[in-house]
Amino acid sequence: MANIAQSINVISLLMTTEFDIVRQTMWWPLLLFSKYTQGYTGAVNMQCAEYEGPTAPSWIRDTIEIPWLDVSAIISDDGWVSMAIVNVHETRTLKFG
pTM of the model: 0.59
In Å, what is the CA distance from 59 to each residue of 52, 53, 89?
13, 12, 21
CA 65/CA 68 separation, integer angstroms: 10
Residue 60: helix, strand or coil by DSSP? helix
Where are the domains positioned within the chain? Answer: 1-36, 38-97
Report, as an integer, the average pLDDT of 24-34. 74
pLDDT in tens, 39-96: 999 888 888 888 888 888 889 888 888 888 888 899 999 999 988 888 888 888 877 6
CA 70/CA 65 separation, integer angstroms: 12
Q: Are 53 and 91 in contact (CB under 8 A)?
A: no
